Amino acid sequence: MTLLNVDAAIPSQTWAVVRLLAYLGKSIALDEARALVSPSSLRTEDTTTKPPFDCAISSLQTLGLVHVDDEQQELSLAGPAKALPSSDDLETYTRILRRAVLETDYNKDLGTNNDATGPRDLTRALAWFLMHDPMEQPIDSVAAEKLLDYKDSKDRKALRPEVLPIFANPTRWLRFGYWAPALGLAAAPVIRTEGRGPLVPDCTLAVKQTVLELWQPGQRIKSLEALQVLREHLPVLPGGAHSLAVGIPSPGDSVAGAALSFALLRGHDEKWLRLEHDDDARKILLLNDPERPASPRPVSDITILEPTDG
């Protein structure tokens, strides 16, 4: 099972199954779960495609989030999903789902071949997508095709030839359009643009959730330490292990890169963190700042703030 294939689920379908199991707090007969999540009156008679419920179960099994007892034909939560506090906690599920997709054990040999099993196809696509600048033109399916198919493009040169193609067909971009925003690693353009499924490489949500999960309000972290930790937890960021594996060069040990810079600057503006600069600091992090494109913004420390609603 791959996550960008036509037989894979989209995130909302996986959430419907996980939410049911979290609400019940126990295992349930597989047929009963199917009847509750996908009533027969809502099913199509199309037998050429796999039913959404079955897609959801397969995808969740691939990510280790549900278990199917083949003998008893029962369905239950598994792995990290068992720690979901409540059936209404979509934010926690988003974090669980993102960690599962980026789990190292599910993404072995990312750069040595184009094996798409598990979440590998999605992980490669995320790493490629996040090498772009959120301040540039949104990327849609047509733009993605041009960026990846033109033999002399910087995108093709950055990626290992073994991992191509990233999007073997238009369906994969369509699926990517569901998964990337659901994981907090992409967003729709603020200003509506023409195109087929335009997306911006805005990873602010994933960065915010990771920051607030790792550090407490009032805590002050050295900026380079924060950079290292964020790349470890979000390895599809430039400089992260998954990004490096597919061939994308690191911006450097003291350079955030465009996508992470954008997220950190948003965090500063939205006041869930504060970017600080000590003139005497020996080690500083450099951010791409659109307000000062000629020179990077230096940051020595990051202070975590209490998030406000919205």
From 56, 87, 118, the end of a domain falls on: 87
Query: CATH number for the domain including 59?
Result: 1.10.10.10
Q: Are residues 73 and 136 in the same domain?
A: no
Q: Are residues 209 and 171 in the same domain?
A: no
Q: What is the overall mean pLDDT for the chain?
A: 93
Per-residue model confidence (pLDDT) at position 258? 97
Q: Are residues 215 and 255 in the same domain?
A: yes
Q: What average pLDDT does range 122-145 have in this prediction?
A: 96
C-alpha span between 283 and 235 (Å, rounded): 22
Residues 6+ positions from 21 with CB-CB distance below 8 Å: 27, 28, 33, 66, 75, 76, 77, 81
Contact 244, 127 (CB under 8 A): no
From 147, 182, 217, the end of a domain falls on: 182
195 belongs to a structural domain = no
Range(s) of the domain holding residue 138: 102-182
Q: What average pLDDT does range 226-234 have in this prediction?
A: 98
C-alpha span between 110 and 103 (Å, rounded): 12
pLDDT over 80 (residue 298): yes
What burial class does residue 299 get, using C-beta atoms within 10 Å of its C-beta: 0-12 exposed, 13-18 middle, 19+ buried?
Answer: buried
310 belongs to a structural domain = no
Written as one string, the DSSP assignment of 8-30 is SPPHHHHHHHHHHHHHHTS-EEH
What is the length of the chain? 310
Q: Are residues 210 and 177 in the same domain?
A: no
* pLDDT tens figures, 37-88: 987 655 555 555 688 999 999 999 999 999 999 999 999 999 999 999 999 9
Helix (H) or strand (E) holding 212: helix 204-214
C-alpha span between 303 and 220 (Å, rounded): 4
41 belongs to a structural domain = yes
Q: Are residues 24 and 81 in the same domain?
A: yes
Per-residue model confidence (pLDDT) at position 151? 75
Q: What average pLDDT does range 233-249 have in this prediction?
A: 98
Q: Are residues 276 and 233 in the same domain?
A: yes
How many separate domains does the chain show? 3
Q: What average pLDDT does range 240-255 have in this prediction?
A: 97
Per-residue model confidence (pLDDT) at position 154? 87
Q: Are residues 26 and 60 in the same domain?
A: yes
Q: Are residues 226 and 171 in the same domain?
A: no
Q: Are residues 60 and 113 in the same domain?
A: no
191 belongs to a structural domain = no
143 belongs to a structural domain = yes
Per-residue model confidence (pLDDT) at position 224? 98
Predicted TM-score (pTM) above 0.85: yes
Per-residue model confidence (pLDDT) at position 150? 77
Q: Are residues 81 and 108 in the same domain?
A: no
What are the Cα distances from residue 288, in Å, to 59, 224, 262? Answer: 36, 15, 7
Per-residue model confidence (pLDDT) at position 61? 96
Per-residue model confidence (pLDDT) at position 310? 52
250 belongs to a structural domain = yes
70 belongs to a structural domain = yes
Q: Are residues 297 and 216 in the same domain?
A: yes
* pLDDT tens figures, 170-212: 889 999 999 999 999 999 997 766 557 899 999 999 999 999 9
Strands 273-276 and 301-304 turn out to be: antiparallel
User: pLDDT confidence of 169, banded at 50, 70, 90?
Assistant: confident
Per-residue model confidence (pLDDT) at position 94? 98
5 belongs to a structural domain = no
Per-residue model confidence (pLDDT) at position 7? 85
Q: Are residues 47 and 80 in the same domain?
A: yes
